[in-house]
Amino acid sequence: KFRNGHKCATSWIVVCLVAWEGIPQSEADLDYTLLSHKLNRYGLPTTRRCATNENRTCACQGLDPETCGASYSFGCSWSMYYNGCKYARSKTVRKFRLSVKTEESEIEERMHVLATLLSPLYMNLAPKSFENQCQFEKEASDCR
């Protein structure tokens, strides 16, 4: 879907792409165990507007902070507030921010392994999207 008001040729949104058995089960199990443990213990949930609908007649994610659904955001992303990279003004970039800084490196390492494992599959299933995401990697080698 093209985003209105965006002029960049790479400003498209992929709504959903599912590839069952995209990585070996042992890797998936390792990542699931790591993320479920670390995020439950050290995760900093991102507040999203999707917790309730506009009329506040539905709260299917739950409203109790102890039991409601949670959303975690890692890695690089565009900030609509800065109209640029969300880390552009940061003195210390922590792409995998948790409540305990020393717990971040393991998640960062595993997410890079996951990205490496998924890249060939992504390139095959959605070559244009893959190309768009990699288009500026030479200019932004610190971003992945």
Note the pLDDT of residue 33: 94
Closest CA relative to residue 95, chosen from 71, 72, 69: 72
Note the pLDDT of residue 105: 94
What are the residue boundaries of the structural domains of the chain, listed by start? Answer: 25-134
Q: pTM for this structure?
A: 0.69
Note the pLDDT of residue 117: 93
* β-pairing verdict for 84-85 and 78-79: antiparallel
CA distances from 144 to 17, 114, 116 (A): 19, 12, 10
The span from the first CA to the last CA of the chain, in angstroms, equals 23
Note the pLDDT of residue 31: 93
Tell me the average confidence (pLDDT) per consecutive run of 10 residues in the chain, 144 residues long: 59 65 91 92 76 66 72 72 76 87 94 91 91 80 62
